[in-house]
Amino acid sequence: METTIDQKYTSKDFTSNQEVRWCPGCDDYVILRTMQKVLPEMGVAKENVVFVSGIGCSSRFPYYMETYGIHSIHGRAPGIATGVKLANPNLSVWIATGDGDAMAIGGNHFIHVLRRNIDLNIILFNNEIYGLTKGQFSPTSLIGQKTKSSPYGNTQPPFSPGELALGAQARFFARVVGNSPKEMGQIFIEAHQFKGTSLIEVLQNCVIFNDGCYDQISDKEVKEDKQIFLEHGKPMIFGKNRDKGLVLNGLKLEVVTIGENGITQEDILIHNAKEKDTTLHHMLIKLEYPLATGVIRSFDDVTLEEREAALTAQVKANSPFTKTDDLFFSGETYEVK
């Protein structure tokens, strides 16, 4: 269990002395600053925070955080983070990863870490492109997308990270757009508080190789009309004028306007992130208009380390062994004189 403390930190306490080397204008800066800003609000001791990453632009993240950190190898951050957390469950463990790192080379670890529900947090920087290797298509690139490795257009259909995660039994899934630091900060705090594996997909612009990939949903002018920010227990309402909402029509979500065709606020669905059944969460993840952001799923479940701790306590209570010598001399031994 992670312990909380009273110590008051500021974002400076979490800023390392390393020069940040991302491209100017990259959304990675927003994620970094947001993390440094909200970590003091989480009430966790600085020495108990560990950032783990794989390879890619996003994976430089640990170097910029004045906490413990390990920048590992491509795709393997979930394995490293699992070892860190199982070795010391008192640590607050974060993974910084990208769409290539998590879903291509690290796909196997990505699904298994979600399945096991270890209490750690994964920030998935999804820019639908490989940045560090200079512009090849990734597992989230769109069909037809022209990249260095698909000059005539990408032919490989993309993953939907949220759907993949739910298929892998994810208990916590949130989505946020890279230019929404306020919402992002709120989600980071909720992810930290959630006991289990939290996955946060950040839709993040790559200014060099995939510039403007999310403009249609993230531009200031269209943001409120194109996105719905979901909050547990609150009605699914969006739009500049807060007059649009979601209702269920048969097996589909439908956008309605409050005040039109006899629709009132009471008709609008209430978001239940804590529901075990994933049906509605799936629908929200797949929705193209509006794009669902916020904490879409947050289902409380037993964590792996809780199960392990309970089992260990039980075995210890019933074991005749306290030291290894007890084991070595147990059972069939014999004397040679």
Partner 1 sequence: MIIDKLKPQLDSKPEILEAVVIRFVGDSGDGMQLTGTQFSDTSAMFGNDIATFPNYPAEIRAPQGSLYGVSGFQVHIGSVEVSTPGDNLDLLVAMNPAALKTNLYALKPGHTIIVDSDSFSKKNLEKAEYTTNPLEDGSLENYRIIEVDMTSLTREALKDIEGLDNKIITRSKNMFALGMIYWMYNRSTEHTVEFLNKKFKATPNLIEANTKVLNAGYYYAETLELMPNSYSISPAKMPAGTYRIIMGNTATAWGFLAAAEKSGLELFLGSYPITPATDILHELVKHKHFGVKAFQAEDEIAGVTSAIGAAFAGDLAITTTSGPGLALKGEAIGLAVMTELPLVIVDVQRGGPSTGLPTKTEQSDLLQAMYGRNGESPVIVLAASTPANCFNFAYEAARLALEHMTPVILLTDGYIANGSAPWKIKTVAEMPAIKNNKITEVKENWHSYDRDATTLARNWAVPGTLGLEHRIGGLEKDSVTGNISYDAVNHEKMTTIRSEKIKRVQFNIPDLETEFAQEGDLLVIGWGGTYGSLHSAVKQINMEGYKNIGYAHFNYINPLPKNTGEILSKFKKIVVCELNSGQFASVLKINFDTFEFLQFNKIQGLPFGSNDLIRKFKELV
Q: For the CB of residue 124, give the shortest distance to partner 1 in the complex, in Å.
A: 18
Between 76 and 115, how does the x/- string for binding to partner 1 read (CB under 8 A)?
Answer: x-xxxxxxxxxxx-xx----------------xx--x---
6 binds partner 1 (CB under 8 A): no
Q: For the CB of residue 108, give the shortest distance to partner 1 in the complex, in Å.
A: 6
329 binds partner 1 (CB under 8 A): yes
| Nearer to partner 1 (CB atom), residue 49 or residue 202 | 49
101's enclosing H/E stretch is none
Task: Kindly compute the dihedral angle of the four CA atoms of residues 205, 112, 96, 295, in this order, to the nearest 10 degrees.
Answer: 60
315 binds partner 1 (CB under 8 A): yes
CA of 185: how far to CAs of 93, 177, 178, 235, 296, in Å?
17, 12, 11, 21, 15
Phi, psi of 10 (to 5 degrees): -120, 175
In the region spanning residues 47 to 76, those forming contacts with partner 1, defined by CB under 8 A, are: 47-53, 55, 62-63, 65-73, 76
3-class DSSP state of 337: coil
In the region spanning residues 111 to 170, those forming contacts with partner 1, defined by CB under 8 A, are: 112
| Nearer to partner 1 (CB atom), residue 261 or residue 322 | 322
Cis peptide bond upstream of 290, omega within 30: yes
| Nearer to partner 1 (CB atom), residue 62 or residue 135 | 62
| Nearer to partner 1 (CB atom), residue 105 or residue 284 | 105
Interface residues with partner 1 (CB under 8 A)?
16, 18, 45-53, 55, 62-63, 65-73, 76, 78-88, 90-91, 108-109, 112, 308, 311-312, 315-316, 319, 321-325, 327-329, 331-337
